[in-house]
Amino acid sequence: MKPNEIHSFITILREEYKKWQTPAVTIVARCNGSPFKVLISCIISLRTKDDVTALASARLFALAQTPETVANIPADEIARLIYPAGFYRTKAEQIALLSRRLVDEYGSIVPGDMDELLNFKGVGRKTANLVMTLGFGKPGICVDTHVHRICNRLGYVTTKNPEETEKVLRGQLPAEYWIEINDLLVAFGQNHCHPVSPRCSNCSVAKICDRIGVKTSR
């Protein structure tokens, strides 16, 4: 895909997005989601399917929705609530410690600064960027496995890992698409452009996709 074709690509995906299931963290953000709820749902979502993330987040938030209330829940109870999210016991400990630290050091307010967020245990660039974009509406590019894979498959970037992809996109992707690129490509990757055997035969962006690394498709 040529760099100037990104505009057509985004326009097409915006229309296709209406047919697909919305990513779980985006649903949390849209449903009166505070930066704290976005942060917690992001942690739950790591290495976890979206339907599991959605239910696990809902169970936890039905009981507690603020750093103070979550900090008062024992880690083993948090683990029970978010099960069967991947690594749920580890995540429960992270959520408990993070909530307590927010209460003790930040006045129960999630910091709206990338570097500050990265200082929290269990918070990587993907999570921090999602909190910045979905939680605060600030500029950022969240690059997960879907964004990294699809951008390389398209031929829009040539990178080796998500961190490198984020760096290249920050210099190449028009700023108007920064916040929504993750939402669009996660939905695209989950519902159509699969890691293995993507649905290329009926793909609306097939004409501008270089199909880098695609060996088999449907």
Catalytic-labelled residue, pool 121, 126, 183, 210:
126
Question: How buried is 20 (Cβ within 10 angstroms: 0-12 exposed, 13-18 middle, 19+ buried)?
Answer: middle
Of 200, 197, 196, 162, the residue nearest 182 (C-alpha): 162
40 and 69 Cβ atoms separated by less than 8 Å: no
For residues 115 and 183, what is the distance between their CA atoms, to the nearest angstrom? Answer: 22
User: In the annotation, is 50 catalytic?
Assistant: no
Active site residue 18: no
As given in the structure block, the two tokens for residue 33 are 């989601």
Q: Which long-range contacts (CB under 8 A, 24 or more apart) does 89-94 make?
A: 91/43, 91/44, 91/46, 91/122, 94/43, 94/121, 94/122
Catalytic residue among 37, 50, 144, 183: 144
Instruction: Give yes or no for a contact between 92 and 82, defined as CB atoms under 8 angstroms apart.
Output: yes
Could you list the active site residues?
Answer: 126, 144
